[in-house]
């Protein structure tokens, strides 16, 4: 099957993935609206309860557990969004695999910073699939992410200490705000095949 045919066949799936990604973004905004003011209030309480006569461990533990619950909700939403974004990147990677053999595949597409789109897609997919293993073991993937960090502001954080998928950030960096933008990029990329 040709890559362009594959892209056409998976269009409804990719559209659904973008809808899921938008739903997680909206849910995260809602949670942050609730979480951030509450977190500031709890932070104030943590800092001042020890100076108040009514201070007790039970109240402090309750406030601490509520902040932890809100933070956990945000992490779960982020994980769902990262899964949808990772699946979008996987579709793009499969198109690249169908269209070219290595190493030519890594030289295709518009530049993201100093790197071709196909190279970014390839290594973003590797990181998204293997993020639970910590910092990428593959040297080329590490170098790609480091360049994205320096050139376009990808927040890699401490991948060894807190492994997480960067797929959501990368989809945003690629400016794939919806299926139409993704499709336009992929058609331009595949026209080079």
Residue identified by tokens 């293993």 is 133
pLDDT in tens, 24-45: 999 988 888 877 777 777 777 6
* Residue 174 near residue 18, CB atoms below 8 Å: no
Does residue 155 or residue 120 have the better pLDDT?
A: 120
pLDDT at 13: 97
**Cα–Cα distance between 84 and 14 in angstroms, integer?**
9
Model-level pTM? 0.85
Calculate what percentage of the chain has a pLDDT beyond 90. 59
CB 128 within 8 A of CB 92: no
Instruction: List the domain boundaries for the chain.
Output: 3-190
Distance of alpha carbon 31 from alpha carbon 11, whole angstroms: 30
| Beta strand spans in the chain (E) | 111-112, 115-116
Note whether 86 and 177 are within 8 A (CB): no
> Per-residue pLDDT tens for 70-82?
778 888 888 999 9
Distance CA 26, CA 30 (A): 6
Averaged over 91-107, what is the pLDDT? 89
């Amino acid at each position: 099957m040709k890559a362009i045919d594959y892209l056409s066949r998976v269009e409804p799936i990719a559209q659904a993935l973008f809808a899921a990604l938008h739903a997680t973004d909206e849910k995260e905004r809602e949670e942050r609206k609730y979480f951030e003011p509450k977190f500031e209030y709890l932070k104030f309480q943590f800092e001042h309860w020890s100076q108040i006569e009514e201070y007790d461990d039970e109240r402090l533990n309750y406030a601490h557990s509520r902040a932890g619950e809100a933070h956990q909700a945000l992490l779960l939403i982020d994980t769902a969004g990262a899964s949808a974004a990772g699946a979008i990147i996987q579709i793009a990677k499969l198109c690249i695999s169908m269209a070219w053999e290595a190493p030519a595949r890594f030289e295709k597409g518009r530049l993201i910073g100093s790197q071709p789109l196909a190279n970014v897609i390839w290594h973003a997919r590797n990181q998204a699939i293997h993020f639970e293993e910590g910092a990428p073991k593959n040297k080329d993937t590490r170098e790609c992410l480091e360049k994205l960090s320096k050139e376009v502001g990808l927040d890699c954080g401490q991948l060894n200490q807190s492994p997480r998928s960067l797929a959501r950030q990368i989809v945003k960096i690629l400016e794939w705000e919806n299926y139409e933008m993704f499709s336009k990029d992929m058609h331009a990329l595949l026209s080079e095949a």
